[in-house]
Amino acid sequence: MPATPDTLFAYLDRLGIRHSSVSHPPLFTVDESQSLRGQIAGGHNKNLFLKDRFGALYLVVLLEDARINLKTLPEIIGSGRISFGSADLLREVLGVEPGSVTPFALINDTDRRVTPVLDATMMQHDILNYHPLVNTMTTSIARDDLLRFIQSTGHTPLIRPVSDRPAD
């Protein structure tokens, strides 16, 4: 059974990770989520669930307005040709629905099939915002605590310059 937001929050609490969440109507796209700007401080993000031609899975996390070139990404992360993972594979591996993709879903990847890839530009923000497994809330977390969370799930994140957006 996949984790729920309450399960996630309890897990973060056990790790001593501070977090705060805001409830809102369901948000499925970056455009929809921009209505919250000004209400929630920090870097706002998008998450791409990808697989390469060899079957390796990646969760690429970058700022919401960043652009990514899927043709050059494989060289940056050391993979084969990349495509989007299916909704069924997303549900199977990360336990979330499309529109709710988040690095917090790594809590559900107990087989460690997914490699998290964090954009270097995004990692310059002190506070980062993600859906807590559902798209009806946004949870803020400190950058260093995000890394602690990911590592606590048994994943080793790659921090790479994957976006076309230059550092601020």
Give the amino acid at 43: G
pLDDT of residue 43: 85
- pLDDT tens digits along 14-73: 999 999 998 876 665 555 555 555 567 788 899 999 999 999 999 999 998 899 999 999
Q: Is residue 108 part of a domain?
A: yes
Number of structural domains the chain divides into: 1
pTM for this one? 0.90
- pLDDT tens digits along 99-141: 899 999 999 999 999 999 999 999 999 999 999 999 899 999 9
Burial state string for 2-39 with b = 16 or more CB within 10 A and e = fewer than 16:
ebebeebbebbeeeebebebeebeebeeeeebeeeeee
Q: Residue 25: which CATH number? A: 3.90.960.10
Q: Is residue 121 part of a domain?
A: yes
- pLDDT tens digits along 4-18: 999 999 999 999 999
**In angstroms, rounded to a whole number, what is the distance separating the alpha carbons of residues 110 and 42?**
29
Please tell me the total number of residues recorded for the chain in this structure.
168
Q: Is residue 76 part of a domain?
A: yes
Q: How many CB atoms lie within 10 A of CB 1?
A: 6
Give me the domain span that covers residue 50.
Answer: 5-160
pLDDT of residue 164: 79
Q: How large is the C-alpha radius of gyration of the chain?
A: 15
Q: Is residue 166 part of a domain?
A: no
**In angstroms, rounded to a whole number, what is the distance separating the alpha carbons of residues 113 and 149?**
17
- β-bridge mates for residue 142, sequence order: 127
Q: Is residue 126 part of a domain?
A: yes
Residue 2, sorted as left (phi over 0), alpha (psi -120 to 50) or beta, turns out to be: beta
Q: Is residue 167 part of a domain?
A: no
Give the tokens for residue 123: 């990692």
Q: Is residue 168 part of a domain?
A: no
**In angstroms, rounded to a whole number, what is the distance separating the alpha carbons of residues 63 and 76?**
17
* Kind plus residue range of the DSSP H or E element containing 45: strand 43-52
